[in-house]
Amino acid sequence: MTLAQLAKGLRARDFSSVELVRGFLDRIEAHQPVLNAMISVTREPALAAAQAADQDLARDAGGPLTGLPIVHKDLFCTEGVRTTCGSRMLDNFVSPYDATVVAKLKSAGAVALGKSNMDEFAMGSSNETSFYGPVRNPWNTDLVPGGSSGGSAAAVAARLAPAATATDTGGSIRQPAALCGVTGVKPTYGRVSRYGMVAFASSLDQGGVIATTSEDAALVLREMAGFDPNDSTSVDIPVPDYVATLNEPLAGLRIGLLKEFFDKGLDRENEERVREALRVYQRLGATLREVSLPNLPLSVPAYYVVAPAECSSNLARFDGVRYGHRCKDPRDLMDLYKRSRGEGFGAEVKRRIMTGTYVLSAGYYDAYYLKAQKVRQLIAADFARAFKEVDVLMGPTTPTPAFAIGAKTEDPITMYLNDIYTIGANLAGLPGVSVPCGFVDGLPVGLQIVGPHFAEGKLLNAAHIYQRETDWHTRVPERFA
């Protein structure tokens, strides 16, 4: 059942929030040994919150999400609950406060079931860099779920929770959503507060949501989004009612086909599913035209300068002094820093910190960081030019369906190229959605829709109408049905 259906059921007293929450907690517990989608499960607090929600529901009080279960990516700080970010560094970290997203969803009535697994510090595209082990794809447990929000995507795909929060720095919402056959929304930079999100690359990070339908994503995003004085990059623009505009007709919608996305790296069958989805839009009265963004092929190299640079700066805070892992018996302060960080961070995080340290070091800053920020400007200008001609851009979310666990861990560049179609939107601060649009050999494939800044409503509308016409999003992997 979708979040929207569960909300109706709760209001109609078909079932209680306690029953609902207990049901999902039991599913989490039953499938954890196979999927490893969660890092922490907060059973007692969840049941207590559900009980309180039932009291609200009994007197027709509460918010739009009252009594509805949700899972938080373990990158959002949760007061009194361990927040690990998938890292040994934060294995024992209990957040002293709630992230704004967590607080907002709590006050809208949502009941948090626990914290989902993720790539360490959100650095990865397969959920294999987690200190807590890889998450498995519910469609085939030998395969990766994508990343970094792999736990959130797998949890929603296996119906361990109707919705989950997630974050997207280079594709970390859209890519796992595509590989797990669920709906993922990465909002415009600044739309959702970053306060209480453990920072990776601050000019790219953006919180969002993974759900089974666009309607559910709209329900959650409406509560998550909004201005926050605690985040200096939060934008003070009112949040539109994303649910109210879901059913607007698409006749006349101008769709741009991203030429650079239909390249030689795109799996043929994956492409075919995407083109079939485009034909559905045409049938609905939308028009299609090819659009070229000539600088887009440089988005992955630009990203792998900007993101590591910001990561090396953000992760400098983990010093073994104030919180996080500390090595045993440090000889002196330098030894304390170096060993605490060397032991606390995993291989990929160290690789990115070092990449960032190098590109920001004296003599290299202009050649790498400044150059990348200039290329980023070119990419943003390409998008801006395209949006003068079309309302939304469409293409594949990923080049291929899910791949085997271990298949790409040896070569970082191959792994980085998984995000080739998603990174552009992050560099330009644009919103993007991934919706399931079919299967290749039993594995889900995603259609990506990217819009101008603050066009979340249009993207959710386009995704919702598509989901009224198709049933890909209703498919559940057999063993989790």
Partner 1 sequence: MALTREQIENIAHLARLQLQSTELPVYQRSLSAIFDFVGELDRADTANVTPMAHPLPGLSQRLRADVVTETDRHEINQANAPQVAAGLYLVPKVIE
Q: C-alpha distances in angstroms, 38 versus 136, 338, 364?
A: 11, 30, 40
Tokens found for residue 12: 């109609």
Which of 124, 175, 170 lies closest to 154 in space, CA to CA? 175
| Residues between 125 and 184 with contacts to partner 1, criterion CB under 8 A | none
Give least dist CB 349 to partner 1, A: 10
Q: Quick check: 437 and 280 in contact, CB under 8 A?
A: no
Which lies closer to partner 1 via its Cβ, residue 53 or residue 300? 300
Give least dist CB 147 to partner 1, A: 18
**Beta pairing class for 183-186 and 207-211:** antiparallel
Q: Quick check: 426 and 190 in contact, CB under 8 A?
A: no
In the list 17, 355, 434, 467, the residue contacting partner 1 (rule: CB under 8 A) is 355
- Per rule CB under 8 A, is residue 301 in the interface with partner 1? yes
In the list 78, 167, 188, 214, the residue contacting partner 1 (rule: CB under 8 A) is 188
Which lies closer to partner 1 via its Cβ, residue 368 or residue 403? 368
| Residues between 34 and 93 with contacts to partner 1, criterion CB under 8 A | 92-93
Q: Quick check: 434 and 446 in contact, CB under 8 A?
A: yes
In the list 428, 447, 460, 463, the residue contacting partner 1 (rule: CB under 8 A) is 428
CA distance linking residue 437 with residue 275, whole number of Å: 9
∠ Cα 133 137 138 (to 5°) = 125
- Per rule CB under 8 A, is residue 185 in the interface with partner 1? no
Which lies closer to partner 1 via its Cβ, residue 174 or residue 339? 339
Give least dist CB 126 to partner 1, A: 16
Peptide bond preceding 17 in cis form (omega within 30 of 0): no
Which of 211, 208, 146, 214 lies closest to 180 in space, CA to CA? 146
| Residues between 88 and 117 with contacts to partner 1, criterion CB under 8 A | 92-94, 96
Which lies closer to partner 1 via its Cβ, residue 324 or residue 436? 324
Residues classed as catalytic: 73, 148, 172
In the list 336, 407, 440, 476, the residue contacting partner 1 (rule: CB under 8 A) is 336
CA distance linking residue 28 with residue 449, whole number of Å: 31
- Per rule CB under 8 A, is residue 323 in the interface with partner 1? yes
- Per rule CB under 8 A, is residue 330 in the interface with partner 1? yes
DSSP-assigned states of every residue in 413-469? HHHHGGGTTTHHHHHHT--EEEEEEEEETTEEEEEEEE-STT-HHHHHHHHHHHHHH
Cβ-based neighbour number of residue 285 at 10 Å: 11
Give least dist CB 47 to partner 1, A: 25
- Per rule CB under 8 A, is residue 248 in the interface with partner 1? no
In the list 135, 209, 255, 372, the residue contacting partner 1 (rule: CB under 8 A) is 372
In the chain, the amino acid numbered 301 is P
In the list 305, 402, 420, 433, the residue contacting partner 1 (rule: CB under 8 A) is 305
- Only one of the segments 172-180, 338-346, 387-395, 396-404 lies at the binding site for partner 1 (rule: CB under 8 A); that segment is 338-346
Under rule CB under 8 A, how many of the chain's residues touch partner 1?
Answer: 73
Q: Quick check: 101 and 207 in contact, CB under 8 A?
A: yes
Which of 33, 44, 258 lies closest to 160 in space, CA to CA? 33
Which residue do the tokens 């939107």 mark? 425
Polymer length of the chain: 481
In the list 130, 312, 314, 418, the residue contacting partner 1 (rule: CB under 8 A) is 312
- Per rule CB under 8 A, is residue 378 in the interface with partner 1? yes
- Only one of the segments 134-142, 215-223, 254-262, 317-325 lies at the binding site for partner 1 (rule: CB under 8 A); that segment is 317-325
- Only one of the segments 26-34, 109-117, 294-302, 397-405 lies at the binding site for partner 1 (rule: CB under 8 A); that segment is 294-302
CA distance linking residue 221 with residue 422, whole number of Å: 20
Q: Alpha helix locations (H) across 284-322?
A: 299-314
In the list 222, 376, 408, 473, the residue contacting partner 1 (rule: CB under 8 A) is 376
